[in-house]
Amino acid sequence: MLFFLTFLGQFFTLPYCLVIAMIKKIAMAILVAGAALPLVTAQEGLLVHSGAGLSETMDVLSKKFEDEYGIKVTVNYGGAASLLTQMELKREGDIFIPGGRHTFNRAKEKGFIEGKEKFVAYHIPVIGVPKGNPANITCLEDLKKPGVKVALGDPKAVPIGKKAEKILKKNGIYEEVVKNVVTLELEEPHIVRDVVTQSVGAGIFWRSSIIGAEKHIEIIEIPKEQNAIDVIPIGVLIFSKDKEAARKFMDFVVSEKGVWESNGYVTYPNEKYG
């Protein structure tokens, strides 16, 4: 300690130019020493950016893949727009699987997708209401009734928000329904939560999201001609450090049709949905 204090006292009595030179040498030595250390990677194995609404299925598939191939899979869940922003900032990850094509196509436009994407299953929008249907919702038109509280996804943040907006505009009731919207959620599961807790009388979310909440929610199907059905894409990211393993995971996810179907999805392709 005494040595350090003596050195410090001598250090600050040196000429300014000599102090600067010494600081530069010390900084260079630190950089050289740091360069000799092993690099710490962002993650071991594969990093998958997945839409939050797919979490139930992706948890099962990632664990199953790990068990079968011995490759660790870390899944980062979030709203599609938020995931895209993270990829823009960090430039890391191996797989992108959002809940719909809109944000995936934006990722393609930015050059983030390596090669050709694949399609996994259909995402079918439905109207969800609390058990007992207290607001007496029977169709899309009923969402514009006075006093009905509606939850939607934010069209700028999640695919279901964009789809709900498209459905309402397609059927000429967007302006009227928006007056009843009390919340725009940033993640699709939050719409389901709003319905389960009866914070709203109705919400538009994916049909598959009712799995696990059947006791608390009723579904009103939207006729195909009124609907805007989406498909779930999956692709390998250009900044993947192990594209071979990433492609293996993509193929695995697409091939596990039984897992998707057990979680309420209609797998791709299907004649009914094109």
pLDDT of amino acid 22: 39
Dist CA 163 CA 54 (whole Å): 16
Domain 46-122+231-267: which topology?
D-Maltodextrin-Binding Protein; domain 2 (3.40.190)
- β-strand partners of 171: none
Identify the CA nearest to 207 among candidates 186, 197, 222.
222
pLDDT of amino acid 103: 95
User: Helix 101-109 crosses helix 159-170 at what angle (to 10 degrees)?
Assistant: 120
Question: Degrees (nearest 5) of the Cα angle 145, 223, 51?
Answer: 90
Give yes or no for a contact between 41 and 241, defined as CB atoms under 8 angstroms apart.
Answer: yes
Give yes or no for a contact between 234 and 120, defined as CB atoms under 8 angstroms apart.
Answer: yes
Give the residue extent of every domain in the chain: 46-122+231-267, 125-221
Six token digits for residue 183: 């919340």
pLDDT by residue for the chain (274 residues), tens digit each?
A: 444 444 444 444 444 443 344 343 334 333 333 333 332 234 579 999 999 999 999 999 999 999 999 999 999 999 999 999 999 999 999 999 999 999 999 999 999 999 999 999 999 999 999 999 999 999 999 999 999 999 999 999 999 999 999 999 999 999 999 999 999 999 999 999 999 999 999 999 999 999 889 999 999 999 999 999 999 999 999 999 999 999 999 999 999 999 999 999 999 999 988 7
- Rg of the Cα atoms in the chain: 26
Kind of pairing between the strands at 73-78 and 46-51: parallel
Domain 125-221: which topology?
D-Maltodextrin-Binding Protein; domain 2 (3.40.190)
Global pTM exceeds 0.85: no
Place of tokens 């006729």: 223
Place of tokens 């630190």: 30
Identify the CA nearest to 267 among candidates 97, 57, 121.
121
pLDDT of amino acid 36: 33
Same fold, 46-122+231-267 and 125-221: yes
